[in-house]
Amino acid sequence: MSKETKHETSAGRVRTYAVASVKYLSATDVVQRIKACLGAEGMDVDALFAKANLEWFEHGAQGQRAADLLALSDQFSTLWESLAAASGDPLIGFRVFAPDPLSWLGVLGHLMLASPTLRQAADSLTRYMPLVSPVVRATIEPKADRVRVGLNLVGGARSVPQARYDFTWNLLLATMRFVGSKPDLKPALVEYAYPAPLDTAPYARWFGCPVRFGAPANALEFANADITAPIPTANPLAAEGLFRLLDERLAQAERTSVAARVRELLPAMIDQGGALRDAVARRLAISERTLQRRLADEGTDFSTLVDEVRRTIAQQYLGSDRISVKNLSYKLGFADPSAFHRACLRWFGKAPGEFQQDRLNAHGQQAVNGTTGATGPASATRRSG
């Protein structure tokens, strides 16, 4: 059941939003919206996706394991890189328009509408962004006469293409203009941590302000007079309730078992020799210190999880003759077979070869018993009955 919140605009119109029923977007939802926005621009999006070899993307994004955030981020980088190349339009990221930009943000968008000023709306955006997209890191800091909004899109194996930043900046500006009822809102400065293209004029025209390339970070700066402007739909009572709702969701997200997500990632990473704490932290898009703290809060630590996963994998492989003990020790990331030998003694009370032989003998005996049960006296007794 949804709970409706009403916000009155400066023109006297009332916007009504079903707050409790709003859901955050999945990767597939985002792709569908991008396609719809590009289609509204007159582009043949099905042909464009086909030309860019992106027909797999929607299924791939939907099926991506939630634990591997960086792999999902890399898929979005592939999306924008491929769309820019297939369309021949390096500015394609700016062509995604949404009639209601808040629809991308869910409940967070409603909090921005209820905020007293654009600065406080931007503060809320940076605070709760992990609920919308964990790989988007936003910061906000005051300067002498401006406020600087920084953005870092965390990538994994792929570098993040500029078109993806174009899309994100475009969506951010559209959101702030919508929330503040300021359709002409412009930044005072835009900085890209990318080399300057051959023609920078389209960027200056698009943003309506100076644009610098080759900067240390990606950022927008707004004049204090613009960012502190009041929001016509400000509603302190609604904001208070939305703060509580989002704080609960943020706490719930932080309580989600990090250990379970680490266990999902470790098998493939151990097999690749990459079961390192910092590598797993990057895959979860959190810092190594945060990973350690959250695991400690759950009563475990990284070394214990690695040991548990290694034990499970060892037990699976030692139950068959598909791999030698020596090769299995290296597969599990042990420096040498003697270290694996000691681990098996600790796990199973037996050396790996002995444990493997016992498991194979047990399987063989089960097969023999199964055959005897089908043709022996017990079977004859059942037939005679």
pLDDT tens for each residue of 308-345: 999 989 988 887 777 888 888 888 888 888 999 999 99
* The pLDDT value given to residue 84: 92
Q: How confident is the model at residue 298 (pLDDT cuts 50, 70, 90)?
A: confident
Selected residue with higher pLDDT from 70 and 91: 91
Does the pLDDT at position 99 exceed 60?
Answer: yes
pLDDT tens for each residue of 232-267: 999 999 999 999 999 998 888 777 788 888 888 888
Q: How confident is the model at residue 60 (pLDDT cuts 50, 70, 90)?
A: low
pTM of full prediction above 0.85: no
Computed over every residue of the chain, the mean pLDDT equals 82
Tell me the CATH class for 258-366.
Answer: mainly alpha
Backbone angles phi, psi at 189, to 5 degrees: -160, 145
Q: Where are the domains of the chain?
A: 4-252, 258-366
